[in-house]
Structure 1
Amino acid sequence: MASIVLIYASMTGNTEEIAEAIAKGIREAGVEPVMKSVLDAVASELEQYDGILLGAYTWGDGDLPDEFVDFYEEMDRLRLNNKKAAAFGSCDSVYPEYGVAVDQLIEKLEQQGAEVVLPGLKIELAPSPQEAEECSRFGFDFARHVLGQLT
């Protein structure tokens, strides 16, 4: 059975809410994801999973959250070849750069050899009920990629 890890950083709960909606979709596809706050995770454990989802809010004008920085830097030592991956996060259109943390996570995953199978999912602040459904579909589709049901 395929294994998926979902690691996220959430200050106000918005990114965690997105992560939970994504996890719901993964479960609907028949996979039980491992969910962790980035504060409870170490980057090296990513190598143990078939699928990797990383989520972070964008801090300020386009930075990763402080709590994600060490994990992000630890990823430099990883080889994520043959891993399916995607990234998501809550964003705020008040800032000139929208959802840059999601883009940074995608770039890092690709640099380490992962195959990013879905475009980054960016949600304005907290997900509306319709956006929560979009998050769930994102998780479902991601799980299908990991299971080899989508290419």
Structure 2
Amino acid sequence: MTKAVVVYATITGNNEDVADLVTDALENLGVEVDEKEITMADVADFNDADICVVCPYTYDEGALPEEGLDFYDDLREADLTGKIYGVAGSGDTFYADDYCRAVDDFGKAFEDANATKGSENLHIDLAPEADDVKKIDAFAAELVKQAKN
């Protein structure tokens, strides 16, 4: 059975909602999912997973989540060769160039860890709405397809 670990960081609850939707979409595709808040997670949790997902928020002017800095640093130094990754997160388009920057930063960290991109980074404006659920379902389907290749 395909296994996934979904890690999220949230202040407003939007990224927990994103993580819940990713988890639901993966489970609907027959994946066994372990969802964790970032302070309760360790990069080693990805060792037993086929699919690794992070749902971070972007703070202020493009900053990573404070409580996820150690996780981010550990991720950049990990070796996730053979793992499929995806990054999805909520942001606020008000911040223009800094919109969802943490999503892209975590994507780069997965690349540094030699993981294989399973889907394009998914940026969601504020709380996920009906059209975002469709994007999340497609995101999850791409991850599963890559994991089965």
The aligned residue for residue 132 of structure 1 is 133
Report the number of matched residues: 148
Deviation, 1:136, is 2.3
Separation in structure 1 between the aligned mates of residue 62 and residue 123 of structure 2, nearest angstrom = 13
Displacement, 1:87?
Answer: 0.4
- Contiguous gaps of at least 5 residues in structure 1: none
Matched to 1:60, the amino acid is D
How far does residue 109 in structure 1 lie from its aligned partner after superposition?
0.1
2: CA distance, partners of 1:137 / 1:112: 24
Q: Kindly provide the amino acid, as one letter, of the partner of residue 8 in structure 2.
A: Y
Q: TM-score under structure 1 normalisation?
A: 0.92
Q: 2-side partners of 1:24 and 1:134: how far apart? A: 13
Equivalences for residues 1-151 of structure 1 within 5 A: 1-96=1-96, 97-148=98-149
Instruction: Give distance in 2, aligned partners of 1:138 and 1:25.
Output: 9
TM superposition shift of 1:143: 1.9
> Is contact 2:76–2:110 with CA below 8 Å preserved after alignment?
no
TM-score (norm 2): 0.93
| CA offset digits 1:48-81 (Å, max 9, x no partner) | 2111011101111101110111111122331000
1:19 offset after TM fit, Å? 1.0
SS in 1 for 2:94: coil
2:89 maps to amino acid: G
Q: Give 2:101's aligned amino acid.
A: V
Q: Percent identity between the aligned chains?
A: 28
- Segments ≥4 residues shifted beyond 6 Å: none
Check conservation: 1:84, 1:145, Cα contact below 8 A.
yes
In angstroms, what is the RMSD of aligned CA positions? 1.2
